[in-house]
Amino acid sequence: MPIKPPALKAGDVIGVVCPAQPVMFPPLLEEGVRCLEGLGFRVRAGPSVTRPFSYLAGTDRERAEEINVMFGDPEVRAIFCTSAGPWGGRLAPLLDYELIRRSPKVFMGMNGPTALLNAIHARTGLITFHGPAVEWDFSWHLSPYTKEYLFRALLSRRPVGRVTSRSPRPCLVPGRARGRLLGGCLRALASLIGTPYEPDWEGAILFWEAAGCDVYQIDDHLTHLKLAGVFDRIAGMVVGRTVGWPERSHPAGPDLATIILELCGECGFPILAEVDVGVAKDKATLPVGAMARMDAARGELVVEESGVA
């Protein structure tokens, strides 16, 4: 059974950390903090948010220890990542998983921090959350869609429920599936393959987004997962909208849908595309490790289990 962190409520302290790259635009981070405070939370920023270190917000050990300290601090009720930059996976060997298991808290990030979301869930069973970044999303005061699903995921003990869409969702392969949600940034997921922090894919619904990647890079990452046997084990696939379908890398090259169907179309699981998760203004917060079901032909994704207790 998964471990669920306590639901958040007004007045709770949210710790803010940089697990990878430093804050790129301090005024945006300040706006993000004000937004969180406007939602009724108190904010405690870790040292990494003001500590540039080359292309990282401190050494690996400094950044990991900051997360460990946040998990160990009884006043901190949740930990949010500042941005969506890569390299979060470097911290996976340095986290105190026994501490995290004893002191479960909401841990939320997206894109690069995907590696930590899935590593923490794999090593402890704690449900983590793929959702808004403080620097990039909260700084824009959240769209109504993003705010609704954030509150559903973190403040309500009821399941997130149906993830609605603002436009039709392409069904690439019809079918139904039910399983635990695992996923996030495709690049970060591929980096976990063959490591002690790789998720248990058996019967899972894999959701992924690939902001900043062209179709050839996505081809590489999907091929990596396929060769590693991931597609022999999952029950379904959900492709995030991100910021729109990537263009062809070459005028004569295939589009993204073609790549997905070439690699996954005969694997036997349903595939639903353009779901609102990832690096886009409107995004649903998804609990990594919670039960969900999908019906690709009907364009449905329903989170059946609450991620908080």
pLDDT tens for each residue of 127-173: 999 999 999 899 877 899 999 999 999 999 999 999 998 778 899 99
Q: Final residue of a domain: which of 103, 119, 154?
A: 154
- Residue 187: is its pLDDT beyond 70? yes
Contact criterion met (CB below 8 Å) for 285 and 133: no
The residues facing 208 across adjacent strands are: 184, 239
Q: Which pLDDT value is given to residue 249?
A: 54
- Residue 262 carries which side chain, given as an amino acid letter? E
Q: Final residue of a domain: which of 122, 154, 186?
A: 154
Residues 24 and 141 grouped into a single domain: yes
Measure the CA–CA gap between 150 and 132, rounded to whole angstroms: 8
Average pLDDT (195-201) is 97
**Main-chain dihedrals φ then ψ at residue 12, nearest 5 degrees:** -65, 155
Q: Which pLDDT value is given to residue 165?
A: 86
- In this prediction the pTM is 0.95
- Percent of all residues in the chain with a pLDDT value above 70, rounded to a whole number: 94
> Which domain range does residue 118 map to?
13-154
Indicate the pLDDT class of residue 244, thresholds 50, 70 and 90.
very low
Residues 122 and 230 grouped into a single domain: no
Q: Count CB-CB contacts under 10 A for residue 252.
A: 6
Residues 54 and 173 grouped into a single domain: no
- Distance from chain centroid for Cα 52: 24
Contact criterion met (CB below 8 Å) for 309 and 7: yes
Total structural domains within the chain: 2
Indicate the pLDDT class of residue 247, thresholds 50, 70 and 90.
low
Q: Is residue 272 part of a domain?
A: yes
- Residue 85: is its pLDDT beyond 80? no
Measure the CA–CA gap between 43 and 45, rounded to whole angstroms: 6
Q: Is residue 7 part of a domain?
A: no
Residues 143 and 239 grouped into a single domain: no
- The domain that holds 131 is classified in CATH as 3.40.50.10740
SS3 content of the chain, % helix, strand, coil (to 5): 35, 25, 45
Residue for token pair 């405690």:
44
pLDDT tens for each residue of 91-112: 999 999 999 999 999 999 998 8
Q: Helix, strand, or coil here: 66?
A: helix
Rg of the chain over CA atoms, in angstroms? 18
Comparing CA positions, the residue from 145, 181, 204 lying closest to residue 302 is: 181
The residues facing 109 across adjacent strands are: 130
* pLDDT-wise least confident of 42-51, 197-206, 248-257, 263-272: 248-257
Q: Is residue 117 part of a domain?
A: yes
Contact criterion met (CB below 8 Å) for 153 and 285: yes
- Residue 177: is its pLDDT beyond 90? yes
Measure the CA–CA gap between 47 and 4, rounded to whole angstroms: 27
- Residue 255: is its pLDDT beyond 50? yes
Q: Which pLDDT value is given to residue 22?
A: 85
Q: Is residue 3 part of a domain?
A: no
Mean pLDDT of the chain: 92
Residues 97 and 165 grouped into a single domain: no
Q: Helix, strand, or coil here: 14?
A: strand
- The domain that holds 189 is classified in CATH as 3.50.30.60
Q: Is residue 28 part of a domain?
A: yes
Greater pLDDT, 243 or 273: 273
Residues 79 and 125 grouped into a single domain: yes
Comparing CA positions, the residue from 72, 108, 69, 82 lying closest to residue 17 is: 82
Strands 291-295 and 176-185: antiparallel
Distances (CA, A) of 121 to 2, 143, 157, 168, 257: 8, 28, 19, 32, 30
Residues 96 and 187 grouped into a single domain: no
Q: Is residue 2 part of a domain?
A: no
Average pLDDT (259-269) is 96
Helical H segments across the chain, by residue range: 26-38, 60-72, 97-102, 114-124, 144-154, 186-192, 215-227, 256-264
Q: Final residue of a domain: which of 106, 130, 154?
A: 154
